[in-house]
Every structure is written in structure tokens, then in C-alpha cells.
Amino acid sequence: MHGPSSSHTAASYNIGCLTKMLCKDKIKEVHITFDSKSSFGRVYKSQNSEIAFLAGLIDLSVEAPNFLDSLGIAKKQGITHYFQTKDLPNADHPNYILIEIYLYNGDFLTFVAKSIGGGMVLIDRLNNWNVIINGQLNNLLVEFNSNFEEEIKKNFQSRFESMKISDIQRIEQSSFIQVKDPYSFEENFIDFLTKNVEITNIWITSPIVFPIHGIPIFTNTSEMLKIAKSKGFELGEIGLEYESTLLNLDKKIIIDEIKKRISVMFSSVEMGLKSKNSSMNLLEHSASKIQQEEINGNLFNPGINIKSAYRALAAMDTASSGGLICAAPTGGSCGVIASVLYTLHHDFNLSIEKIVNCALVAGVIGLVNAMNSTFAAEIAGCQVEIGIAAAMAAAAVVEAANGNPNFATNAAAIALQNTMGSVCDLVAGFCEIPCHTRNAVAASNAFVCADLIMGGYVNPINLDDCIQASYESGKMLPSQLRCTSLGGLAITESAKKLEEQYHEKIS
């Protein structure tokens, strides 16, 4: 993804991609409305949401060199676009978006989309119909005359008996059905539907991630550790088995994909260590300055902790400058795991193969959090972003030290305990202050937590309980402290001055 935010940048891109698929003709005009009380409504301008949404809408790849020019490209393509905030009475999520599309063929479409954390998205309304589109499967959505319902049922059930077919919805004389499948739909069946006069509308979407074929082999830490014990697996092996089973992919393909992500992480660190690449909004570039002072021997406590800290700053600099990063697990926490893996490779001379195992271990910790909590600070504060990144990174360090699965989960647990109650109070809506230094401290903290556990600290609160406590305590935070820039550091006098200076600079 491009920085700075997975919830507001990567998710906007993914929603744009899915919206493009649902538009069967050329787009003439698009209106995006955010609820004025929501996190999205507060920060969409500062977190490149407009740029990312339109990049998806005009089918730019994430790696496209002109990704950040999407607003101008869309205009040249004749797409008029409006972004606004206003009160939306039906908004039931901090990242709720109303999308209205006018097509050149005269059609008008409305969608309700939500960013649900870590770049994951959900479209749950298409015109008047309830839908579930998250980009993980192929979707076939069919609107038809209600008197054709029995015929539709027969056709669908004969072809898709093993597939999930939603209950048929009805509004007056119109009916609607949604079908999901990991495999593409047969062209001859789509052609049959298109030619049927009883069918009034057909929409098709493809997956934007590897499609899911199976079911998770674990849903919490306890189940994961039982697999490790019964099969003699290390956590990295479990992570590989999980992905292979869920996605029906050869393990080599998975490893190659992880290597690509590690490459992006390493590049984000190296790009961020060059001041010429920095174009942050509030902060001055500092990563390379700290690096040089450490090299010159001018720091009080040189070594792994400060190296991992300034490398995390570097990756965050890349993110805040709109560069290409790997959300791990989110854009606002992308510096933690990138820095730790980079440090393990460059300072401990671990091979890329070993780094892949470390990344897999970090991944399974993230999976447990994903299945039992959230990655959205808008829902549960910074502890579910930078906090869980620190936990994932601590487990990766244990893997690097050849520690066992119990050590890895306990290192993750105490790392998460250290961030419990952490608010999301980003200054002026940018993922810079305090996000950058929190990433730096979390990366350093990963090494400390790993050593505490490896050295003999006995953790009495298991990771499952820590994740649950993190989630529940995060939800108790007032909305002002959950990514709205309405509380905490964001409303201090210093922060207000920074915001004023930024607006003067761009005006």
C-alpha cells in the first residue's frame, strides 16, 4: 500500500477497486460522503483517502509510478469527483462511507462501504440491497423480477450446490440474490443470465486478495499452541500451513509472496533513511541524523535498540511521504515489523529464509488478533495497531533466537500489555505525531520483551486474554481518543500551532 494509513488509504484504494468492478459503464461522476462525526470524516484529507480511492477507481496498480497523481488522471479521463462530510444518520461505523456513482449510460448506483481495519473493507449495501462484498471471493449479484424467483433458484442451485447462496431479498416486484465463490464464474452462465429478459441487473466482482478456499486451522492462541505441540510444529510452520490450507496455494507461492512483502518493508526502511525522500507534513526528517550520530559514537546507548528505533522512524517517514510500504499490520504501525526484520537480517546476519520464518511467526500473532479483535484504532485505539505490531515483532524476535512457540506467544503478550490503554490522538489527522516515536519505541521494545521471556520472566496473563483485554479496553475509549484528532496530544497548544503552521504552508 501507499502511506500513510491502512484504514484510510489502503482501504480507500480497495473500496475504489471494488466500486470500479460494480460499475458496468464508464463513470461520469462520483460523490463520496463521510459522516461528519466519523474518523474518516475527520482525517480523509490528511491521509490521502481521495488519492487512493480514485487510484482504485481508475484501475491504477499500487506499484504504479503515477499512483499519487490519481486526482489529475481521473479528471483527464472525464471523471468528476466530489468528497464531502455531512451528518449521515445511518452511519453505524467510524469508517462509514456513502458512495454515489453516475454512469454515462444514465445508471445511478449507491454503495455503503466501510473500512474495518488493516486495509480490510466491506461493502454492505448496493442500491437497495443488502450485500457482503469484502474482496475475498468472486461475487455474482443478480437483480430480477420476482415472478422469476423459482426459475432463478433452480438455475443457481443446480450449478452452485456447494456454494454459499444468500437468502433471496424482495422489494415490491424485484428480487435479489448474491453468490460467492473462490473460482471465477463460467462465461456461458453469465451470458445466459445477461440475455434473460427477467433479469434486470447483474454485477460481478473479483477478489482483490488471494481468494479463500478453506477454513482457519485455528482461531486463537490456545488452539494454535495445541497444533504446535501435537504436530511438533514451530509457529512459522503453523503459519505456512494456515495460509496453504486457507488459500489452497502451494507453500512455495506463499513464501515467494512473503519475500515480496519483506522486500517492500526493507525498501521502506532504506528509502526513509534518505532525507531527500522525505516530504512529511508536520515532522522534520530525523532517521538518518540519528543513524549518523550513532555511527559517530555520539549517542549514550548505541546498539540494537536505537538502530531498530531509527529504522522504524525511517519506514514511517516513507509512509508519511506517501511512499510504498507494507502494512504490518497497519499503515500507522508499518515501521515496527519492518524495522525488526531489517535489523535481524542486517545486524544478526539472519538469512532471508530465516527472516521469512520470523515474518510467518509475526503473522500468526496478527491472525489471532484479527480473529478476536480489530486492527482499527478508530474502534479500539492505538493498542490494536502499534500495540499489536509490537506483539507480532516480539514473537518474531523469539523465532530469530530459536525460542519455542510458548516463548513467542508470551513475548507477544507482554509487549501488548505494555501498550494497554494506548489512545489514538494523531496530531492534525496525520500519522506522524505521536505515531512515529511510538513505532520506534515498539520496535525497540520487541527485543526487550523477547529477552525478558527468553531470560526467565514468567508471564501469567496469556496472549488470548491480553488480546481480549486490549479490544475491550480500547472500545471503552471515548471517540475523541480513537483516531478523530479531538483529544489527547491533538488538542494541545503545541499541536494547534503545528496545525496552523501546516495550513499556512500549504495555503
- Min mean pLDDT across 182-196, 216-230, 352-366 is at 182-196
Q: What residues are paired with 103 via a beta bridge?
A: 27
Residues 6+ apart with CB under 8 A from 108: 100, 101, 102
CB atoms within 10 A of CB 185: 17
Q: What is the mean pLDDT of residues 435-451?
A: 98
The CA-CA-CA angle for residues 25, 27, 31, to 5°, reads: 140
Confidence of residue 150 (pLDDT cuts 50, 70, 90): confident
- Topology of 137-206 in CATH? Alpha-Beta Plaits (3.30.70)
Q: Angle formed by the axes of helices 304-320 and 334-347, to 10°?
A: 130
**What gap in Å lies between CA 33 and CA 189, rounded to an integer?**
36
Contact 371, 219 (CB under 8 A): yes
pLDDT of residue 506: 77
Quote the pTM value: 0.89
Average pLDDT, integer, range 318-331: 95
Distance of CA 361 to the CA centre of its chain: 18
| Longest pairwise C-alpha distance within the chain | 80
Alpha-carbon distance of 158 to 262, in angstroms, equals: 44
Distance between terminal CA atoms of the chain? 28
Report the pLDDT averaged over residues 111-120: 92
- Residue 162 pLDDT more than 80? no
Q: Which pLDDT band, with edges at 50, 70 and 90, does 68 fall under?
A: very high
Tell me which residue of 206, 192, 243, 150 sits closest to 14, measured CA to CA.
Answer: 206
Task: Give residue 118's region: left, alpha or beta (phi > 0; psi -120 to 50).
Answer: left
Mean pLDDT to the nearest integer, 237-261:
96
Crossing angle of the two packed helices 334-347 and 352-372, in degrees rounded to 10: 160
Name residues whose C-beta falls within 8 Å of residue 376's C-beta, 6 or more positions apart in sequence: 7, 94, 95, 115, 116, 117, 118, 384, 385, 483
User: Would you state the torsion angle of the CA atoms of residues 392, 398, 399, 401, taken in this order, to the nearest 10 degrees?
Assistant: 150
The residues, ordered by sequence, that sit 6+ positions from 293 with a Cβ below 8 Å of its Cβ are: 299
pLDDT, one tens digit per residue, over 186-207 is 999 999 899 999 999 999 999 9
CB-CB contact of 169 with 239 (8 Å): no
| pLDDT at position 41 | 83
Q: What are the angstrom distances between the C-alpha of 222 and each of 228, 410, 462?
A: 10, 12, 9
Break the chain into its structural domains and give their ranges: 1-136, 137-206, 221-506
* pLDDT band (50, 70, 90) for residue 103: very high
Contacts of residue 144, Cβ cutoff 8 Å, sequence gap at least 6: 152, 174, 175, 176, 177, 196, 198, 199, 200
Q: What percent of the chain has pLDDT over 70?
A: 99
Output b/e per residue, 290-329; b: 16+ Cβ within 10 A. bbeebeeeeeeeeebbbbbbbbbbbbbbbbbbbbbbbbbb
Rounded to an integer, the average pLDDT of 343-351 is 98
In the predicted structure, residue 159 carries a pLDDT above the cut 90 = no
Q: What is the mean pLDDT of residues 6-23?
A: 95
For the domain spanning 1-136, the CATH number is 3.30.1330.90
**Is a pLDDT exceeding 90 seen at residue 503?**
no
How confident is the model at residue 42, as a pLDDT? 81
Tell me the C-alpha distance between 316 and 319, whole Å: 5
Q: Would you call 398 exposed, middle or buried from its count of C-beta atoms within 10 A (0-12, 13-18, 19+)?
A: buried
User: Is it the case that residue 163 has pLDDT exceeding 80?
Assistant: no
Summarize pLDDT for 24-48 with one digit per residue, the tens: 889 999 999 999 888 888 888 888 9
Q: Please report which confidence band the pLDDT of residue 475 belongs to, taking 50, 70 and 90 as the band edges.
A: very high
Of the candidates 119, 33, 23, 35, the one whose C-alpha atom is nearest the C-alpha of residue 77 is 23
Which residues have CB under 8 Å from 156's CB, separation 6+? Answer: 165, 177, 179
Query: CB burial class (10 A; 0-12, 13-18, 19+) of residue 206?
Result: middle
Q: pLDDT digits over 46-59, tens only?
A: 889 999 999 999 99
pLDDT digits (tens, 9 = 90+) for 262-298: 999 999 999 999 999 999 999 999 999 999 999 999 9
Strands 96-103 and 108-117: what pairing?
Answer: antiparallel
CB-count exposure of residue 76 (10 Å: 0-12, 13-18, 19+): exposed
pLDDT at site 167: 81
Q: Which residue has the cell 526487550?
A: 448
Q: How far apart are CA 256 and CA 247, in angstroms?
A: 14
Number of H helices, E strands in the chain: 19, 11
Peptide linkage before 434 cis (omega within 30 of 0):
yes
Burial class (CB in 10 A: 0-12, 13-18, 19+), 226: exposed
d(CA 411, CA 428): 34
Instruction: Label residue 125 by pLDDT band (50, 70, 90).
Output: very high
Fold (topology level) of 221-506: 2-methylcitrate dehydratase PrpD (1.10.4100)
Q: How confident is the model at residue 118 (pLDDT cuts 50, 70, 90)?
A: confident
